[in-house]
Amino acid sequence: MKLRKLLLFSFICFSGIAYSQNKKTSALPRPKLVVGLVVDQMRWDYLYRYYERYSNKGFKRLLNEGFSCENTYIPYIPTYTAIGHSTIYTGSIPAIHGIAGNDWLEQNNGRMEYCTEDTTVKAVGSTSKAGRMSPRNLWATTITDELKLATNFRSKVIGIALKDRGGILPVGHSANAAYWYDDLTGNWITSTYYMSDLPQWVKAFNEQRLVDKYLTQKWNTQYPIESYKQSSEDNSPRYEGKFKNEKGPIFPHDIAVNRTSDWSIIRNTPFANTLTFDFAKASIENEALGQDEVTDFLAVSLSSTDYLGHQFGPNSIEIEDTYLRLDNDLAAFLEHLDKTVGKGQYTIFLSADHGAAHNPIFLKDNKIPAGLWSGASGLKADISEINNILAKKYNTDKIVRRLFNYQVNFNYPLIEEKNLNLEEIKKDVIAYYKKQAGVSYVIDLKNIGIQPLPDALKSRTINGYNEKRSGEVQIILNPGWYQGSGNQATGTTHGTWNPYDTHIPLLFMGWGIKQGKSNQEYFMTDIASTIAALLRIQEPNGNVGKPIAEVIKLSLGSD
């Protein structure tokens, strides 16, 4: 009897040890945390334009320790913030994921729709309308949704950005939270789509009033102003916009003097990037991201680079100083990840939602062809001439509803009611816009297959066309041209197919990532499938990209 008990006890102990060992060895190796950084309006060449001035701990660390995909492009037009963030995280395109712009005209009812607006939810942390947002307009899953599905929703997923669309769209439909900045209060807020009340740590962070601290600072150059050799001279009013209460775009900028009744001015300072990183660090600590055996995901978008780019343009000292400051903020954030999650225990990627053009006046002053096309600001007055032409021929007014996202939108109910021939109307519209200065092509989107277009333009146009949310005629401008007139002559913008808008940085570093560079052509749509391959989970359900095999280590064992 004693022998039998002894044998049974030995068997149980051996089985327990074997089970424990098997459980340990069969655990699927994954990083503790994935961090996605999107720098809004970051041209690829900013990695090298200011390279010599970067420290070794920010952008250079990503370049030297990680993997850089040097020729990564956006595969669609138009190139705007909401589409870029959606495409990075879905691996899809507007034709499939449904985000056809920051705003678009709903073709079934003619209503303008903002990408993340949702009247069924309410703000949490504010009474502002800025809180009535959710990801419901996004039709596809994101890589963060797929991580949630793969871990039976045990992974934590959090999105953070000044812009609601930069915080919401990357983390998809099943995120634990998305937070964005509220101009009315100067706080980080969310909506009832995610929760009914802000977590205590978010309330505590808001109560610190870091935004007030940053708004009391004057923005001066971080280094002696004469050392900014990669930029035009300070005070270049032909190319740079100014703050409202300043005489010109001149350092130092007194932020407090330009403040209005709310806290919106922080967006147009480099301190907003610092504030965003402050909040991201707080989320890592308070949500214990990367602190257990289940992979978490933090998606952070740096938005002030876009506001400042629009205001000052890519050749300004303001932009050079912004990226030097961002480099320091990035270095501090990477150091924070090393300490909290562990060096080599997290995977991080950095990219951009789009780039930006050189200011066309700056280009023309330097004998480079460029221009402003005044026919696409989206105002009703801009379509009056074409509507007058059509009214004379068809005896019907307001046939064109709107000119938006470089697309002509038609008034379909009116055309149907009057029994007009849409194909003939399109021919007239195309002929009208083809005659305008700065226009390269005017495309009938529903008949694009038979039109003589370069392949690169054709594929980008098809990928960006969503029948329910896009116009029916696409306008493509000459290189160096973009929409704008009058007060839009300073600074810059984006939205076109050209490399300055579509060539974006793509850097990976950390767990499971090789060190190196590649000049092979990749696309924004490849990011999500690369992360899916790294994590060994399913790609998002609208994904059209392919994993970048060069990036991933062959053996994904524990680092």
Residue 281 lies in a domain: yes
Q: Is residue 429 part of a domain?
A: yes
Question: Catalytic: which of 25, 72, 79, 81?
Answer: 81
Query: Above pLDDT 70, what percent of the chain?
Result: 92
For residues 507-535, give the mean pLDDT: 98
Say whether both 505 and 455 belong to one domain.
no
Identify the residue with better confidence: 146 or 260: 146
Eight-class DSSP state of 339: I
Among the ranges given (23-32, 178-187, 210-219, 440-449), the one the predictor scored with the smallest mean pLDDT: 23-32
- For residue 177, the surrounding DSSP H or E stretch is strand 177-182
Q: Are residues 347 and 389 in the same domain?
A: no
Task: Note whether 176 and 282 are same-domain residues.
Answer: yes
Report yes or no on whether pTM surpasses 0.85: yes
Q: Which two tokens stand for residue 148?
A: 């949630």
Residues 137 and 162 in one domain: yes
Q: Of 41-50, 293-302, 479-488, which gets the smallest average pLDDT?
A: 479-488
SS3 call for 446 = helix
Does residue 12 form part of some domain? no
Q: For the residues 465-493, what does the mean pLDDT come to?
A: 90
Residue spans of beta strands (DSSP E) within 260-336: 296-302
The residue segments making up the domain with residue 117 are: 33-357+499-551
Closest to 192 in 3D by CA, of 255, 129, 121 = 121
Q: Are residues 338 and 240 in the same domain?
A: yes
SS3 annotation, 69-111 = EEEEECCCCCCCHHHHHHHHHHCCCHHHHCCCCCEEECCCCCC
The b/e string for 382-400 (b: 16+ C-beta within 10 A; e otherwise) is bbeebbebbeeebebeebb
Lowest-pLDDT range of 25-34, 333-342, 344-353: 25-34
Residue 313 lies in a domain: yes
Q: What is the domain-level CATH number for residue 423? A: 3.30.1360.150
> Residue 22: inside a domain, yes or no?
no
Q: What is the pLDDT of residues 191-227, one digit of tens each?
A: 999 999 999 999 999 999 999 999 999 999 999 999 9
Confirm whether 407 is domain-assigned.
yes
**Is the same domain home to 245 and 325?**
yes
Find the range with the poorest average confidence among 8-12, 50-54, 335-339, 499-503.
Answer: 8-12
Whether 71 maps to a domain, the answer reads: yes
Is 81 assigned a catalytic role? Answer: yes
* pLDDT score of 15: 44
Residue 484, pLDDT score? 79
Same domain flag for 263 and 342: yes
Q: Which of 440, 462, 488 finishes a domain?
A: 488
pLDDT tens for 389-405 read 999 999 999 999 999 99
Residue 493's pLDDT is 95
Question: Hey, which residues does 39 pair with through a beta bridge?
Answer: 302
Contact 218, 199 (CB under 8 A): no
Mean pLDDT for the stretch of residues 408-426: 96
pLDDT at 557: 54
Looking at residue 485, its pLDDT comes to 67
Q: Are residues 248 and 157 in the same domain?
A: yes
Alpha-carbon gap, residue 247 to 231, rounded angstroms: 20
What gap in Å lies between CA 547 and CA 552, rounded to an integer?
9
Show the tokens assigned to 192.
């009832």
Q: How many domains does the chain have?
A: 2
Residues 429 and 530 in one domain: no
Give me the pLDDT at residue 261, please: 87
**468, 488, 508 - which closes a domain:** 488
| pLDDT recorded at residue 26 | 62
How far is C-alpha 189 from the geometric centre of its chain's CA atoms?
A: 19
**Average pLDDT, stretch 48-54?**
97
The CATH code of the domain that includes 79 is 3.40.720.10
Q: Which of 446, 462, 488 is the last residue of a domain?
A: 488
Query: Which of 92-96, 135-139, 255-259, 339-343 is least confident?
Result: 255-259
**Of the candidates 297, 283, 25, 258, the residue with the CA atom closest to the CA atom of residue 148:** 297
Whether residue 350 is predicted with pLDDT greater than 80 in this model: the reply is: yes
More confident residue, 558 or 196: 196
Co-location of 116 and 201 in the same domain: yes
Asked if residue 229 and residue 303 are part of one domain, the reply reads yes
Distance CA 272, CA 186 (A): 11
Report pLDDT digits (tens) over 235-272. Answer: 999 999 999 999 999 999 999 999 988 999 999 999 99
In a domain, 464, yes or no: yes
Query: How high does pLDDT run on average in the chain?
Result: 93
Same domain for 413 and 276? no
- pLDDT at 22 exceeding the cut of 70: no
